[in-house]
Amino acid sequence: MGLKITYFVHGTTTDNEKGLSSGWSDVGLSKLGKEQSVKLKDKLKGKKFDAVFCSDLKRAVQSARLIWGNTIETIKDERLRECNYGDLNGAKSEKVDALMESAIDRPFPNGESYRDVEKRIRSFLKDLAKDYSGKRIAIVAHRAPQLALEVILKGKTWKQAMKEDWRLKKAWRPGWDYEIK
């Protein structure tokens, strides 16, 4: 039996509005981010999930709570965190983005690599497949975990996933679907 996953990105943060890449900095949603999450809730009417998982970082937790409230338990999992940019947590996005490809295999200074994120997500997916087979789950998290899903479940290379990232074209949508067969 397969497992269906719908992936949602957290709403806009105060760092996003300043052109900063938060990484493991625990920043909250901006006013716009809160509004986006409430609007997403309306777009999801009628969609049922057996479980909702989110990163343990504030911005993902806030988004999940604004979307689902108390209608379903939200399970926080630190493996869904954004990439740890190390010394660059909270740095200008251009600086972080310029190092993305080189950080596929080599960690950000005092941080982690995208392969490290992939290992976290593989561990998370292994547990999901074991505990939620045949279910539909929602995930609320960040860019790097979503790119890792593209690599793991869609068979893309890291460079391909980064080059095709919806964020580059501002092509947001209300959820991305993945499946573990």
> Which sequence positions are flagged as catalytic?
10, 82
The Cα 90–Cα 59 span in angstroms is: 14
Encoded amino acid at 137, one letter: I
Half-sphere exposure of 88 (CA within 13 A, CB side): 23
Phi first, then psi: give them for residue 21, nearest 5 degrees.
-100, 115
3-class secondary structure, 172:
coil
Beta-carbon contacts of 32 under 8 Å, excluding residues fewer than 6 positions away, are 11, 12, 17
